[in-house]
Structure 1
Amino acid sequence: MPVHLPPDEARRFLETGELPAPHLDVIAAMAFHAAAAGVALGVFDALAAGPRTAAALAAELDAAPDALGVLLEVLAATGYLERATKGYRNGLAGRALTDGYGGTLRFWHDVITGLWGGLEHTIRHGERAADFYAWLPEHPDTLERFRNLLRAQAGWLAEEIVDAVPLPPGAARLLDLGGGHARYTAAYCDRYPGLRATIVDLPSARPEPLPERVTLRHGDLLAGWAERDQDCVLMFNLLHGFPTGRARALVRDAVASLRPGGLLLILDRFPGEREGVAGAAFTRAFELNLLHTQGGRLHSPDEIAIWITDAGGTPPARHRLDRSPGHALLASVRGPSGTRPAGPRPRSPRADQ
């Protein structure tokens, strides 16, 4: 984490420019690697039970005492640990790594160290230099962390989403595109006992045991799917993995999968939502990761709205989520078969790709 600077030092780095502000990023990058090593070694989990000396931790974690001592000093200097009478204890940031964020930090550490080389190639040529979904199955520990991250996010948001937008009366068929962990689909099935659902996702998708009313079918969404006359289609955290042209085609096909009056729901992270400074910075860095490792983008709600209405859906309502201010839920209803909503609309701000 960024070091806590006293006011005079902060002023020299961040206000006057007397000291180079990017040096703080160098320190933060080193701290990021050190923290990931600490999670992997079990440092923070061990200290959750109470302070330890370096020697006691080394014996407990089967680590070289001198080397571990160097790591602990880095973690103390950057705020992850605090020095105590009996050695070291977790600081505020260190405690976060024992409360669930440790797996998230290791996932991002795996991705950034494994895939962010060649970033300048992506920017210079406008084409991705890595392939996240081809790389992921080759790194099973990272794959499991990714699954856990998605499950945790869905578990946190599912109730709010189901409350925010009810399904059409008498809904019986739901199609979840790319929802392999099944948390959102299961939440809707729990709320609507007469609902049956199909999830279409890549072969790497491995949900927890599925409710008996949910079917998982493996497939490449870009190759299309057979399901039609659906009462609801979910596209949750899906479109950002694709460039504009492919994302628009997926929206078109999703609307075509609905019966007239069926409901399209799109959940995604959108720039400009109510995030704060740190949230906005993460959103922009997340988009850079999408561009570099998947060829994806964060498409704006206005842009997606155009795709939806072009495909025959109503202009979507936007539902902001209290539990994740950087996300929003778009809800649209398919019009009568063969019709499109009337009225003027703006041109798409981004050319097809």
Structure 2
Amino acid sequence: MDRRHFFKQAATAGVGAAAATALAAPAIAQESPRVSWRLTSSFPKSLDIIFNAANQIADSVRNATDGKFTIQTFGAGEIVPPLQAADAVANGTVEMAHTCSYYYIGQDPAFALGTAIPFGLNARMTNAWFTAGGGNDLINEFLAPRNLYALPAGNSGTQMGGWFRKEINTIDDLKGLKMRIAGLAGQVMQKVGVTPQQIAGGDVYAALEKGTIDATEFVGPYDDQKLGFVKVAKYYYYPAWWEGGPAMHAFFNLEKFKGLPKSYQQIITDACAAANMSMLANYDAHNATALKKLVAEGAVLKAFSREIMDVCFKAAMETYADLSAKSPAFKKIYDSQQAFKKDAYLWAQIAEYSYDTYMMTQQRAGTL
């Protein structure tokens, strides 16, 4: 090959490469556009495990897109009131929220099933139902007409039954009690004589301190210790039969989510899944230490009696029968959860329960 032919070939190849680069660059830019979103949380920043789920999602999305997709996180009340977070997403005020579905049962009782209902699924079952039991599809089918899309983004595990100013020994001790309690648990508690109050997390301590309420449930030892409830109500009850495995969700404006490139949709879906796992792990890791601190600070641990649990269980079943008769959406999702729960507890009692029960006897005996 002579030099003239070689340089002519090289020049032609160079032109081709440049053209290919020119064609590829706009395509890449189109596939990875710059996107800036805002996320409003229903939780105060002081509740670091819950609030940091939003930060974790934002960090994961930013890192996975080399900073091209950013999500700015805001604490409860910084943009909208904490119990209006999903509404702000639906109407386009913000693109995204981190919240609990059951805060919005005033719009439809089916919202409760996205978080937790009394005597519902535990945390492991909740994640299984959403992931492999059709739960996520059912919830989003319900949310779509509201211009919302949701992904699980946190779970606290079974919560504590809350803080009370007085001992609750019988079902009659609940009558006339003013209690901060969210979701359908409030309706069930109302059936047994409690006056339920729905108050955002950041306002609970003041309400309990002033006597506006007589009792409050919140999350569990780690958050409760940070919020200082033991200073104003010493009786600490368990379990929260109304929140066996409550899910927190990332809510998205449906049109905004659908408008994202497929790669960004996958990235944010994976980020939510990671945050979902991380929150439960953090609570499991920190609650034991916090519980010890609370007892040292004067908390008196008390279990709800079997009588109270049985009466409340009956009230819950009556509530679900009423709601199923009135709300087709509630019935459809509730029936799915019930069927899943029956099989899940059939399996759980065979291996997990037997193993855990034995290991707990070893823990109590001090042999671990």
Please say whether Structure 1 and Structure 2 have the same fold, judged by a TM-score greater than 0.5. Answer: no
The structure with the largest helix share of the pair is 2
Give TM-score, length-normalised by structure 1. Answer: 0.29
Give TM-score, length-normalised by structure 2. Answer: 0.28
